[in-house]
């Protein structure tokens, strides 16, 4: 099948109709030209293939298959290989099930812990999200199955998601909310993107030319086709003109009449329509070429993989006194309904039909005693269940409470109202820890929760939503068969009110303003030096790692050069384990607001006791850059940067400095209202200010003397805010404008 040949033979009516699906999950066929229909299904932590009536909310039944850890858990692995293993497994299953495209991964940023769909998203950090996505997409597509990254873009809440607008500035969009998609496009080469329901700054994503054409195709050079979120289309003609290709879902009434009218009426060019049709035809053609006729799937092997991945993703958040791992011979009580009926996935379009999720009670067998403790469908404490739990805790050496968010608390289609666990769970943990201080808590859920009992328990193990094998993986970790190696991909604040989006989530009257700007997650908490429950990147192990011998391959470079960073990591503890080496970059002094530090690379490495490995990173321009609206590009400001190696954003072990010279210069317009302080930030402005002060009728020293002893600091502060017109009227041109031109600091002169 040659897409260009097919396009030349299609009628205008066929082209218009082809831009909508055949039904809920399939593209249209063109029988007379030999174009078949191909299927797409929900993902990405399992295959939700519906064989009967379709829906996008996970209501109607789908095939029985394997549920892997959700994105919230996967990102905590800080391990690209985890995503690759998942991508290969799902790609092989899609081939066996004749599925051409898996909808996912979700790349929206965790702006607020209240977003009901956070379990489907990777991180508050765009670099981490992008790297995990690119690894998954590459592996999935290597199996001949297309990925569809979603929801492009700024769909960071469920409240009014189909009609609301996300309002934010250019820098925030480019630094925080687009880079994960950019990585999936440039590194992962995703075949498709799903445009979001919402608008950005008043223009719906499904008809947003800036997003779908200017950024995706022109800036990023992508040939990916764009499909709508299900029901997201507003105007088909405006959408096609903006860069939208395929409307989903389709159906017998999706004949493309609105597109036909627009083309015939001159509102839409046929060339724009042709581009959309050709992109979808190319996807169909690629699907046929990549089809593996003999594909099969071993779901037992998939279940073993799900268990292994869940173990890689778990985060040991606290472990005072070495309570974990549990020792042979100890009497252990498993308490809490989630120990018997694990919460392992979220609700909505990603819901996987699992025949038998494995519970911790089943996996542990006779090694533990069990008490239900609470009713997962209630908020109220059952006195009888509480009494049984306290008795079990008192009679055992160690109590392990399985707690977390119930299904009703987080789901596609609705945001959470608060960050609290159910009251009966909080009361259970407080009571059990009083009955037996040797109490560990295993947490299930897709997003941070408030932990009012944190000081009462020595150990906390976070499993997030770890897939159908989460119970077995929990037992592996608790008893030491697996050493925890996950690190938090999001900050856990002490309380909801501390979150930077607190006053602007979910917005008012369908509009949400991203007033916190670039200060999302740890960028905000670390800038404010705010106490948190657990910081970004935090994660413990049953062993310990030492970092030594940090070296840079150069002490200075330009933003066109690469910097190689190497560090030695040693397992100086008693057990084999995996270290997550995190590299952050800090700008020592900047003329614009920047975070204290930003994650710029990471690597997970396995180490035997006593073993040392060298971990190396390569940093390019983007590691030092911020988005500069004046040049509409990432820009490096010349100066000193610190390379930091740590185990979290607040546990920096080593650092080294490097001088970076920017090679792009910015336009700097100077008017009579430009202040001395603003001008001093510009290299040539400093010389200009020196000339003006020297020629001023009253020198700086004279003014200081006139103001009295001890006033120099006050004088300097006042000077920074003085506009040029007040200081140097003779230096102004007749129109009051200093002469400047060019790109960058080409301040060419003044009159």
Q: Which two tokens stand for residue 603?
A: 């690597």
Question: CB-based contacts of 91: which residues, under 8 Å, 6+ apart?
Answer: 102, 139, 140, 141, 142, 143, 144, 145
* Enclosing H/E stretch for 643: strand 639-648
Please give the backbone phi and psi of residue 551, each rounded to the nearest 5 degrees, phi first: -145, 145
Burial of 160 per CB tally in 10 Å (0-12, 13-18, 19+): middle
CA 32-37-42 angle, to 5 degrees, is 170
Q: Which two tokens stand for residue 293?
A: 């006729």
Burial of 498 per CB tally in 10 Å (0-12, 13-18, 19+): middle
Q: How many Cα atoms sit within 13 Å of 725 on the Cβ side?
A: 10
If you count DSSP H runs as helices and E runs as strands, how many of each does the chain have, helices first? 23, 25
Please give the backbone phi and psi of residue 279, each rounded to the nearest 5 degrees, phi first: -65, -40
Residues 440 and 400: their CA atoms lie apart, in Å, by: 5
3-state secondary structure of 547: strand
Alpha carbon 581 to its chain's center:
19
* Enclosing H/E stretch for 655: strand 651-661
In 3D space, the residue among 540, 610, 546 whose CA is nearest the CA of residue 575 turns out to be: 610
Residues 627 and 450: their CA atoms lie apart, in Å, by: 34
Query: Of residues 229, 272, 526, 601, which has the active-site annotation?
Result: 229
End-to-end distance of the chain based on CA atoms, in angstroms?
Answer: 68
Q: Using an 8 Å Cβ cutoff, are 348 and 361 in contact?
A: no
Q: Using an 8 Å Cβ cutoff, are 703 and 715 in contact?
A: yes
Residues 333 and 313: their CA atoms lie apart, in Å, by: 24
Q: Which two tokens stand for residue 198?
A: 């919402």
Burial of 675 per CB tally in 10 Å (0-12, 13-18, 19+): middle
Known catalytic residue at 382: no
- Total residue count of the chain as it appears in this document: 751
CA 310-315-320 angle, to 5 degrees, is 135
H helical segments located in 325-422? 337-340, 360-364, 383-394
Q: Which two tokens stand for residue 158?
A: 């469920």
Q: What is the DSSP letter of 542?
A: S
Q: Using an 8 Å Cβ cutoff, are 608 and 623 in contact?
A: no
H helical segments located in 291-371? 299-313, 337-340, 360-364
**Residues recognised as catalytic:** 229
């Amino acid at each position: 099948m040659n897409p260009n040949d097919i396009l030349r033979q299609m009628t205008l009516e066929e082209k218009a109709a082809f831009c909508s699906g055949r039904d809920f999950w399939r593209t249209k066929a063109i029988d007379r030209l030999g174009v078949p229909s191909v299927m797409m299904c929900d993902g990405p932590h399992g295959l939700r293939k519906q064989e009967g009536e379709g829906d996008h909310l996970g209501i109607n039944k789908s095939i029985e298959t394997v549920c892997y850890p959700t994105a919230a858990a996967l990102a905590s692995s800080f391990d690209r290989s985890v995503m690759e293993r998942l991508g290969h497994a799902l790609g092989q299953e899609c081939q066996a099930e004749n599925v051409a495209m898996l909808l996912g991964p979700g790349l929206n940023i965790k702006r607020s812990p209240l977003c009901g769909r956070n379990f489907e998203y990777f991180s508050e950090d765009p670099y981490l999200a992008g790297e995990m996505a690119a690894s998954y997409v590459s592996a999935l597509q290597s199996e001949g199955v297309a990925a569809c990254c979603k929801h492009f873009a700024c769909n960071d809440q469920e409240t009014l998601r189909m009609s609301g607008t996300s309002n934010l500035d250019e820098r925030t969009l480019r630094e925080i909310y687009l880079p994960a998609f950019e990585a999936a496009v440039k590194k992962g080469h995703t075949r498709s993107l799903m445009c979001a329901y919402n608008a950005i700054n008043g223009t719906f994503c499904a008809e947003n030319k800036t997003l779908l054409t200017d950024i995706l195709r022109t800036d990023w050079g992508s040939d990916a086709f764009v499909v709508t979120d299900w029901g997201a289309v507003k105007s088909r003609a405006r959408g096609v003109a903006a860069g939208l290709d395929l409307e989903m879902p389709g159906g017998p009434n999706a004949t493309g009449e609105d597109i036909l009218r627009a083309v015939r009426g001159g509102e839409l060019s046929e060339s724009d329509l042709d581009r959309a049709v050709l992109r979808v035809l190319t996807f169909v053609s690629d699907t046929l070429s990549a089809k593996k006729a003999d594909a099969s799937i071993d779901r037992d092997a998939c279940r073993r993989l799900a268990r292994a991945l869940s173990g890689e993703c778990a985060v040991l958040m606290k472990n005072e006194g070495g309570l974990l791992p549990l020792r042979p011979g100890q009497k252990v009580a498993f308490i809490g309904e989630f120990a018997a009926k694990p919460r392992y996935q979220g609700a909505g379009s990603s819901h996987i039909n699992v025949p038998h999720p494995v519970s911790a009670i089943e996996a542990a067998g006779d090694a533990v005693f069990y008490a239900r403790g609470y009713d997962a469908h209630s908020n109220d404490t059952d006195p009888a269940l509480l009494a049984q739990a306290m008795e079990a805790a008192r009679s055992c050496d160690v109590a392990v409470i399985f707690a977390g968010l119930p299904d009703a608390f987080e789901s596609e289609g609705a945001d959470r109202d608060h960050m609290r666990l159910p009251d009966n769970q909080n009361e259970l943990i407080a009571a059990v820890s009083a009955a037996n201080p040797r109490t560990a808590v295993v947490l299930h859920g897709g997003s941070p929760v408030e932990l009012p009992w944190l000081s009462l328990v020595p150990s906390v193990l976070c499993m997030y939503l770890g897939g159908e094998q989460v119970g077995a993986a929990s037992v592996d970790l608790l008893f030491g068969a697996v050493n925890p190696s996950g690190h938090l991909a999001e900050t856990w604040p002490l309380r909801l009110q501390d979150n930077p989006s607190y006053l602007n989530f979910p917005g008012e009257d369908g509009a949400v303003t991203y007033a916190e700007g670039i200060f999302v997650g740890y960028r905000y908490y670390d800038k404010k030096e705010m106490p948190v429950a657990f910081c970004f990147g935090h994660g413990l192990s049953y062993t310990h790692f030492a970092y030594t011998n940090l070296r840079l391959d150069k002490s200075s470079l330009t933003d066109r050069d690469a910097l190689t960073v190497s560090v030695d990591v040693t397992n100086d503890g008693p057990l084999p384990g995996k270290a997550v080496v995190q590299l952050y970059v800090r700008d020592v002094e900047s003329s614009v607001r920047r975070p204290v530090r930003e994650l710029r690379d990471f690597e997970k490495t396995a180490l035997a006791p006593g073993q040392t490995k060298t971990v190396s990173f390569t940093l390019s321009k983007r590691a030092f850059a911020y988005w500069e609206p004046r040049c509409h590009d990432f820009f490096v400001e010349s100066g000193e940067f610190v390379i930091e190696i740590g185990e979290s954003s607040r546990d920096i072990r080593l650092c080294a400095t490097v001088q970076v010279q920017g090679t792009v210069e910015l336009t700097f317009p100077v008017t009579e209202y430009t202040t001395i302080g603003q001008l001093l930030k510009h290299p040539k402005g400093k010389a200009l200010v020196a000339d003006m002060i020297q020629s001023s009728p009253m020198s700086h020293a004279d003014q200081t003397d006139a103001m009295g002893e001890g006033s120099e600091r006050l004088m300097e502060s006042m000077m920074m805010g003085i506009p040029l017109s007040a200081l140097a009227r003779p230096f102004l041109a007749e129109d009051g404008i200093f002469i400047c031109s060019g790109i960058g600091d080409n301040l060419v002169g003044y009159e």
